[in-house]
């Protein structure tokens, strides 16, 4: 087993796992995704509306529409349960990391890398539609001043 450090110019692999929690603007997006999928959390004591998370960050109405469309699409087209954690979790799930990374790549106009980022966990017939929605979400977030950074990630390769 080899452990390497990937640079920000690398595209995502399906087996990447980030070992740190979200920071800054990506924490807003992560909180909204988590609240969309799991609005109730006993550890966080109560319900959290994903729209309220985005509203508090200054997001536009387009952002609401695109996040809702993306999450609805993913719950239908991904053939397994989404790895999107509870609101109280301090680490990123693989799907959360892939979505944040995809948003970041689209915000930087790195379209091919962003689409490749979806490969392996979104079925081929659905990938085009998911990529378009993810791109629209990334653009709406950027217009709202929410720019998701590309983060360094540790990757474990098994041979």
CA separation (Å) from 59 to 5, 23, 56, 140, 147?
33, 18, 8, 8, 11
- pLDDT tens digits along 12-31: 333 344 434 455 788 999 99
- pLDDT tens digits along 89-108: 888 999 999 999 999 999 99
Domain residue limits, the chain: 2-157
- pLDDT tens digits along 34-62: 999 988 876 666 678 899 999 999 999 99
- Taking the model in full, what pTM does it have? 0.79
Cα Dmax for the chain:
46
Would you place residue 111 in the very low, low, confident or very high pLDDT band (cuts 50, 70, 90)?
very high
Give 96: exposed, middle or buried? Use CB within 10 Å, 0-12, 13-18, 19+: buried
Eight-state DSSP code of residue 132: H
DSSP 59-120: --HHHHHHHHHHHHHHHHHSSS------TT--S--HHHHHHHHHHHHHHTT-HHHHHHHHTT
- What are the beta bridge partners of residue 155? 4
DSSP 21-55: ---THHHHHHHHHHHHH--EETTTTEE--HHHHHH
Report residue 151: phi and psi, to 5°.
-110, 145
CB contact at 8 A, 39 and 48: yes
């Amino acid at each position: 087993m080899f452990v390497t450090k990937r640079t920000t110019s690398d595209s995502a692999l399906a087996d990447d796992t980030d070992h740190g929690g979200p920071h800054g603007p990506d924490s807003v997006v992560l909180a909204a995704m988590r609240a969309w999928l799991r609005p109730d959390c006993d550890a966080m004591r109560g319900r959290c509306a994903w729209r309220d998370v985005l509203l508090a960050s200054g997001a536009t109405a387009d952002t609401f529409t695109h996040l809702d469309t993306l999450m609805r699409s993913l719950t239908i087209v991904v053939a397994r349960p989404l790895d999107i954690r509870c609101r109280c979790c301090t680490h990123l799930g693989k799907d959360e990391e892939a979505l944040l990374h995809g948003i970041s790549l689209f915000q930087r106009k790195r379209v091919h890398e962003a689409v490749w980022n979806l490969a392996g966990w979104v079925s081929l017939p659905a990938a085009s539609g998911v990529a378009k929605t993810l791109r629209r979400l990334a653009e709406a977030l950027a217009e709202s001043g929410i720019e998701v950074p590309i983060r360094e990630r540790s990757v474990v390769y098994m041979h």
